[in-house]
Chain A
Amino acid sequence: MTPPTGTPLPDFAQPPLSEVAISVQFEPLPRLVVPEIGLLWQHYGGKYPHVQQHPPVDPAIERLGVRRPRSRRPNIELVVETPFPRIWFLTDDEKELLQIQQDRFIRNWRKLSASDAYPRYDDHIRRAFVADLRDFQDFLDTNGIGRLTPNQCEITYVNYIEPANGFQTHAHIGKVFSIWQQDFADDSRYEVENATFSVRYLIRSDSGDFVGRVHASVQPVYRGTDDQTAFQLNLVARGKPFSPDLDGIMQFVDEGRERIVRLFADITRPEMHRTWGRKNQ
């Protein structure tokens, strides 16, 4: 699959990232149950000393030919037996975590304080995910739990965009995002209070076959600690692995990440890029 353009990837010294997650979904592993989770925690030892339990996340598969997106149809939940939870394994500082359930493996980095620097995809995020996924598969093999048969991959960038360059309130959405017409926002006939939007883009292979989608969504938010105005920009690339193995998973994740970074640069204004320290134009 050729990258969207041949130009170098946009690079920012201080991107407004608050969380990055890489996820792989796979055919359910019914033998991954409570005792095995206990063994897994023992296996991790001091690397992930903290554990939390959360409800499982529903499968999310990108398909072509969909007439009705998930938000527009009734959500059905089969309440038949106790669903197996999603277990969080957290590092000591809780900035990085694994989320594991019977059909999904996720690795997150999150910014918990203003001084936390984004550890970079190539330097750390990708490497850590690959290492932990390999380790997880080894654990499954050793304990006879099963093989991972991946059916969907996902990379998510959550951006928390704070006021800068004329952006003070949610009405100034046009000062942040290039796909929002500034002229409309400045038109005194319309007193914009806030705005939200979402866009979906298809990802196709070189031969035109459907692979997945990139989802971009913008929400006006307020920071919980001090009510500071901000926009949350979520960028998610989700699709099928190129092949049902680690290489195939990472080929998609790398492709998805590149599309997300280019899209981020394309839908935000150059004035905001200066705030984020764009290194290459």
Chain B
Amino acid sequence: MADTSAIASMEDREYRYRLPVSSDKESTFGDPYFPAWWTQSLQRIGLLLDLEENWDSYGARPIDRRVAYNAVQILQEIAPAGLPVPAIVPTANGRLQFEWHAGGIDLEFEVLSAVRILASYEDAEQGVEWEKEFDYDLKDLGEVLRILTHRVHGAVQAA
């Protein structure tokens, strides 16, 4: 497989990304290398990384770049295929929060560090609600992302 690299410029920020691309089409099946949420999310995060001190008028901190990197890495690892594009918001403490509000589900998770994620989940349809901190075992978080994805896609197909 040949490596190709490309540089994408967004505003004044450069994001360098490298992906393995097969020089020959070996198969028509396979994971998409660029899921739909990924490109939009990178653009959004680029915007948020430009926020300055007190961006919320209440003394909020700029976004910690390392935490932003960890947040993207974590979501990449657990995102199911077809994950709806998340809303990404900054928190006053300089972190990123991913949010989804669709299909009767409210799911939010904030990446506090490489090994601390605070997540909140409400499923009005199933009457389930929890809030917990994750460290290394993200199975349950991945599971609710899968539930959300199926719920949203099911609604789209029905419409």
Verify that A and B bind, or say they do not.
yes
Which A residues contact B (CB, under 8 angstroms)? 25, 27-28, 59, 61-68, 71-81, 103, 151-152, 209-210, 212, 239-240
Contact present for B15 and A65 (CB under 8 Å): no
Residue pair B72, A27 in contact (C-beta under 8 Å): no
- Asked whether, in the complex, the Cβ of A67 is within 8 Å of the Cβ of B79, the reply is yes
Q: Report chain A residues within 8 Å CB of B137.
A: 63-65, 209-210
Q: B38's contact among A66, A71, A74, A151, by CB below 8 Å, is which?
A: A74
Which chain B positions have C-beta within 8 A of A64?
136-139
The answer to whether A76 and B17 have CB atoms under 8 Å apart is yes
**When each residue 56-84 of chain B gets 1 if its CB lies under 8 Å from chain A and 0 otherwise, what string results?**
00000000011011101110111110000
Residues on B with C-beta less than 8 A from A67 are: 77-80, 142
B135 touches A240 (CB 8 A): yes
- Extra contacts, 17 of them, besides A152-B114, A152-B115 (Cβ < 8 A), are A27-B113, A59-B70, A62-B136, A63-B77, A64-B138, A64-B139, A65-B77, A65-B139, A67-B142, A74-B34, A75-B17, A78-B49, A78-B65, A79-B16, A210-B136, A239-B136, A240-B136
Q: Chain A residues with Cβ under 8 A from B42's Cβ?
A: 76
Complex Cα gap A35–B74 (Å): 33
Write 9 A-B pairs (CB below 8 A) sorted by A numbering.
Answer: A63-B138, A66-B77, A66-B142, A68-B31, A71-B20, A74-B18, A75-B18, A151-B114, A152-B114
Interface residue total, chain B, C-beta cutoff 8 A: 39
- Looking at the assembled complex, report how far the CB atom of A201 sits from the nearest CB atom of chain B, in whole angstroms: 16
**Which chain B positions have C-beta within 8 A of A80?**
13, 49, 65
Nearest B residue to A210 by beta-carbon distance? B137
Docked-complex contact B135 and A72, CB < 8 angstroms: no
A170 to B14, CA, bound (A): 42
